[in-house]
Amino acid sequence: MNREMKRCALFLVLLAAMGSAVFPAIHVEAGALFGTRSVNDADIKAVYGNGTVFFPYAAVYLWKGLFIGAGYEGGYSKSGKIGIYEESTTLKVTGVEFFAGCQFSVGMVSPFLRAGYGSYSYKQVIDSPYHTGGGVDKTKGTVVLAGGLKLILAGNFFLAGEVRSVPLKVMLYEGEVDLGGTRFTAGMGLKF
């Protein structure tokens, strides 16, 4: 478990403990989303391509559909060939997000919007005698915007779909590139 995952887990535990003590009528929601992730930069997309992501999260509903929470994005790890010598390369992007949002319930359907801050780690390694030093391994923060829909099923169980936009311009070996993109995810969760 990396450092970001540990921070996220600690934040979620503290958030749930603090929320139930201060707001006894709150409820906690936990879910997991899976789907596709696009890459905005055409050159990066040509080498690594789009990919898949997973996003486990937890949220605390404080009052009338208003919530705060955190989640972890993982899954994007791609390999390819780069440069005129077709050198082997890998790129991995992961992130921890903290967000706030609102949800509106209309019967069994609940649309939601959320915004937050994401801290994304990205690592690029090129297997080449010309690229020494272990590759690029950095972290950058950005604003994250998302919206989606939940379908409440039996009891506290729900299905969810979400579109999330993450702008992320970073420095790799090639210079500044746009690792941001759109995530189209679906999954399920429980309310407690």
**pLDDT tens per residue across span 126-179:** 887 776 666 788 999 999 999 999 999 988 899 999 999 999 999 887 788 999
Range(s) of the domain holding residue 100: 3-191
d(C-alpha 186, C-alpha 192), whole Å? 20
pLDDT tens-digit readout, 5-38: 566 566 655 655 555 555 556 789 999 999 999 9
CATH number at residue 85: 2.40.160.20
Please provide the average confidence, as pLDDT, over all residues in the chain: 87
Of 71, 66, 5, which Cα lies nearest the Cα of 32? 71
The pTM score is 0.83
Instruction: Give the pairing type, strands 27-37 and 157-166.
Output: unpaired
The total of structural domains in the chain comes to: 1
Q: Which residues face 29 on adjacent strands?
A: 59, 191
